Structure 1
Amino acid sequence: MAQQILDPPTDDFFDEDRKIVEHLLAELGISFKKRNEARSRPEVNPSDAVNFSPPRLHQSRAQALQRIRKWVKMKLMLSQTAIVYDSGLAFERMDKDFLCSISRYFNNALNGPFMEATTRIIRLRHDFPWAVYAMLDFLRNGSYYMYPVLQQQYPRITMLDLHVHCYIVADKYDIPALANYAAVNYLRIVADVLALDWKFDDPDFYDESENLPCVNYHYWDMCAAAEVSRFLDSVVLLWRNTASSHDALRKVVLEMIMACFIKLMRLKSFQFVFHTFKEFRWDLAESFGEDGLEMSGRKRKENGYNSRTSTPTPLLKPIPTPETTPGSALIKVTVAPVLSYAREVYNGTRKYPYTAPIVPGTSCIGRVAALGRDSTSLKVGQLVYADATIHSRDNPDDIILHGLTAGASTGSKKLMEEVWRDGTYGEYTLVPLESVFALDEKRMKELGYGEEELATMTKYLCVGGLRDINLQAGETIVVAPATGAFGGAAVACSVAMGASVVAMGRNADSLARLEETFPRVKTVRITESVEDDVAALQAAAGGRAIDAVFEVSPPQAAKSTHVKSCILALKRGGRMSLMGGIQEDYPIPLRQVMRKNLTLRGTWMYNREQVLALIKMVETGILKLGKQGGMRDMTVFGFAQWEKAFDHASDNAGWATTVLMRP
């Protein structure tokens, strides 16, 4: 990258200060023009966050340097992005346009309604630091290698392991070029390892004194066994960090292992991996054919049948139609919504727990095809809404989202693995009776709603959080952030419930559309200044007390200050509904919560009564759906176009856009 050259900010520098700043800039690859080249002070856009003015001689050295640093930061932020990793201990600067062109993840982060778009700082968390370092090395130079310092820190790590680590981060941050480079080089080494000719049949694998692998045979066999052992280490690493149903590299590795399976089974090291790692064993068994391998006297079964196999990417194929049992309903799917983050879930980026193979898809609009014998009110052929939230009947704490996540408890995982696994991206889906809601088809037609409009109801189920804090007509509520799919829906629901709304967000265009659609809505831009944001919220409320807050932040907003601003803006006795997806601990102004008698109420999803309340709001015409309610775009894809549907949903995330799929 060419060295940047900046005009000197002023001639009023202290000499010592100038030397310090020039040294700092040199480390960043930036230099000042020579004094005789500087014709004027650099121009600064008034709209920029930093308004540079030269330090005066009477100012302290610290004040002068503070202004200089702000000015330099402003200049850098015009084209540069900082990537922070290793728990904040390391960072790299990279060109923003280059990052956006090579990664859809970075493009969405830097151009979407997220904090990164404002700060130009991307924090990469929970990644192996050397994998991120290698990723950045690849982005700069087109390759990476085994770094000496890495080998010193991790003596057992191999190039196979590094390739797998890079493949994992490439998949997580959607960098196809890096994923392809890592996979190709990994498979090249694997092919060489599996081509080695080892002649032993059943060597002693464990040293009884240390319980570690040992080799007691010919030197060549020792070398071959060591290479195979390193390969198996990388296999374990790959299987632990990727989603079995959708990973292409896993599939190729399985094919290579199958080609020399008998040879590998002679090795106790391979036997150890085979019997210890369940997912690897299951995937390998399924790869050998429709019936799989016999293991411990049992065959793996999927929902009562074992004729299905997991695929590296979603695959359109026929499967047996589920049979109804007491307490269930078989729904013929007519249209199903696509989440904006569906691609990240099903390619493993978000690491949602679910049992594979799985039919994706959450809720749907459909018609009852068959009913369990204990059904007393639903009728075959009836138009219904099938909801994605499924509770255990004997323990409401065990919750899954149909076709999306198995939750965190042992009971919830059992629900998905053994009973309610397959979602709505199929011609038929089996759901619990309590997840089925009858719709007044005649009334919906009178309101002008077709199946596509009705399918958008899933966005408005944020009404659960609003009802949990008992939002009343005439009250003032802040929705933050309000420009996403669920935030915008919360604005619509709050207006329908009779409240005045202050919509808070970063995207000025999206905020303007909300004001245009809902006359009772006022908007506030998030500035990351708590004091300014609190004042803006109170001003937008028009002098009225702010009674409630609805929070629905995405995971990327973990470092944003808007939650604190909203808490401080609440009146005494105010309520706050927390339905967001922030996954990290968040600082709360506890003293203010205590002194103002505030109530913070968490809500994950909703209950049956709240869904029925939402349907009543729609049927009475209080809550408008589809274009009547302000949505601008509803795009429908067929199941065969699942990839386009996932991409379109990801690229058009927001309240005013809905992506649907039909069989």
Structure 2
Amino acid sequence: MLAATLTAFGSPLAVQDVPGPQAGGGEVVVEVLATCVPPYAAEVFSGERRYPLEPPVVPGVGGVGRVVSIGPDATKLNVGDLVWCDSTVRARDDALTPDITLQGWSSRGEGGARLARYLHDGSFAELMRVPTENVYALPAHADPVRWSVLSVYTIPYGGLLAGGLEAGETLLVSGATGNLGSIAVAVALAMGAGRVVVPGRNREVLDLLGDRFGARVSPVELSGDEDADRAAMVAAAGRPVDVVLDLLPPQAPSSVARAAAMTVREYGRVVLMGGVGMLGGEDLALPYPWIMRNSVTVRGQWMYPRTANTGMIRLIASGVLDLAAEQITTFGLGQVNEAVTHAAAHGGPFDRTVLTPAA
């Protein structure tokens, strides 16, 4: 089969013929029809983001495909089924704190690295081997290219589930003008959020979010002054902020994340999913007395639970969450390096780059 291989950090991906995968027990082989290329993929492949990939490796974060072969433990999947392949793989020998790898992309700790060495390759290939529990049936009529955005939509959905967002509540999305943050706005409204406060410095994107989603969205243009920005966000909410979801990138200063987090009401919830401090910047410092006296819940959330895949598929299949606004540009496997370059230049809201390996 053909696959795009990262042979070394800093080198272009090499499209070459490699042995096809074989499904063992508890595994499925899928023909990859479509997979999203993250906007920061170039930073991963250059080594800038210091991801624990071990070249040579076929990268890629999940995808939509058709089942080619299944192991003996699959009871509902069939060859030919259209499926979503989730990249978040959990080790099976610890139900409480499983080691995790993002297949073909990243991992956590030594246990995650060991798992990644076994499930080494991702979706930038014609075929991919996936654990059975990471394969989810899609509606037969689903457009593989459009549905491949599950790889990005499910991430903020996991954060909203972690924050226990309920219908009618007020949410503030820190990093709302970014790739994941803008998705969080769309998903939260589909989940029934009463109001979503969207702070940011990009006026054009703030206007886009306001125009697209209407009166339930309250844009706030940030000034860079922590106290003034916090006051502006509270005023824009017009009511107590129940949940804050932080999706700021690694380059963002911790003061921006702190200003947003401290808008939350007494007994409110703050979920941290971004990258603040990951590239050596100042760490987030939330005041101990403020957390304690206001009974604020602060939790981190990396990726999402397995059930989030099913929930997201239901939201889209039911029409509650509409993917029609997605602007999608597709590339064949032979154009993978062009796709990576395109993704880096098109990382704004609802702008996706999709690779179609088996096309």
Letter in 2 for 1:515: G
Give the match's secondary structure for 2:72.
coil
Q: Secondary structure at the match of 1:477?
A: strand
Q: Do the aligned partners of 2:65 and 2:84 also contact (CA within 8 Å) in 1?
A: yes
Of residues 334, 348, 351, the one that matches 2:47 is: 348
| Conserved? CA contact 1:564–1:589, under 8 Å | no
Map of 2:288 onto structure 1: 590
* Matching residue of 1:357: 56
Q: Which has the higher strand share?
A: 2
**Overall identity of the aligned pairs, in %:** 36
SS, match of residue 549 in structure 1: strand
Give the CA deviation at 1:347. Answer: 2.1
RMSD: 1.4
Distance in structure 1 (CA, Å) of the matches to 2:261 and 2:250: 19
Equivalent residues, number? 343
Identify the match of residue 514 of structure 1 among 206, 209, 224.
Answer: 209
Which string of whole-angstrom CA distances, capped at 9 and with x for unpartnered residues, describes residues 120-163 of structure 1?
A: xxxxxxxxxxxxxxxxxxxxxxxxxxxxxxxxxxxxxxxxxxxx
SS in 2 for 1:597: coil
Structure 2 gap segments, 5+ residues each: 1-5
Match of 1:556 among 244, 247, 251: 251
1:268-417 to 2 correspondence within 5 Å?
312-395=11-94, 396-405=97-106, 407-417=107-117
Instruction: Using the TM superposition, give the Cα deviation of residue 574 of structure 1 relative to its aligned residue in structure 2, in angstroms.
Output: 0.6
Query: Partner residue of 2:174?
Result: 480
TM-score (ref. length: structure 2)? 0.92
TM-score by length of 1: 0.51
The higher-RCO structure (CA 8 Å, 6+ apart) is 2
Task: Please state whether the residue corresponding to 1:622 is helix, strand or coil.
Answer: coil
CA contact (8 A) 2:254 2:284 kept: no
Matches within 5 A, 1:97-176: none
Distance 1:425 1:391, change over 3 A: same
Residue by residue, what CA displacement relative to the aligned partner does 1:387-442 show, whole Å, maximum 9, x if unpaired? Answer: 1111101134311111111x23222111111x200110110000101111111224
Counterpart in 2 of 1:437? Answer: 136
Equivalence map 1:80-99=2 (5 Å): none
Provide Cα deviations, 1:264-297, integer angstroms capped at 9, x if missing partner. xxxxxxxxxxxxxxxxxxxxxxxxxxxxxxxxxx
Q: Name 2:187's counterpart in structure 1.
A: 493
The alpha-carbon deviation at position 530 of structure 1 amounts to 2.1
CA–CA distance in structure 1, aligned partners of residues 230 and 45 of structure 2: 39
- Report which of the two structures shows the higher radius of gyration computed on alpha carbons: 1
Q: 1:612 aligns with which of 310, 329, 338?
A: 310
1:467 aligned onto 2:161: yes
Deviation at 1:560, TM superposition (A): 4.1
Q: How far apart in 1 are the matches of 2:50 and 2:223?
A: 31
Equivalent residue number for residue 3 of structure 2: none
Match of 2:270?
576
Structure 2 SS opposite 1:527: coil
In structure 1, C-alpha distance between the alignment counterparts of 2:28 and 2:124, rounded to whole Å: 16
Partners of 2:332 and 2:72 in 1: how far apart?
A: 33
Matched, 1:545 2:240: yes
User: After TM superposition, which residue ranges in structure 1, 4 or more long, deviate above 4 angstroms?
Assistant: none
* Counterpart-to-counterpart distance in 2, 1:336 and 1:572: 41
Change (3 A) 1:460 1:578: same
5 Å-filtered alignment, 1:67-78, equals none
8 Å CA contact retained: 2:8, 2:56: no
Report how far residue 247 of structure 1 moved. 5.0
**C-alpha distance in 2 between matches for 1:529 and 1:494:** 27
For structure 1, list consecutive stretches of 5 or more residues without a partner in the other structure: 1-243, 249-311, 445-449
1:637 is aligned to 2:336: no
Partner residue, 1:456: 149
Following TM superposition, by how much is the alpha carbon of 1:246 offset from its aligned partner in structure 2, in angstroms?
A: 2.2
Which letter maps to 1:415?
L
Contact kept? 1:524, 1:537, Cα under 8 Å: yes
Correspondence for 1:530 = 226
Letter in 2 for 1:245: T
SS, match of residue 120 in structure 2: coil
Which amino acid is 1:645 matched to? Answer: A
CA contact (8 A) 1:492 1:623 kept: yes
Q: Tell me if the contact between 1:386 and 1:436 (Cα under 8 Å) persists in the aligned partners.
A: yes
Deviation of 1:245 (Å):
2.7
User: Using the alignment, how far apart are the partners of 1:613 and 1:656 within structure 2?
Assistant: 20
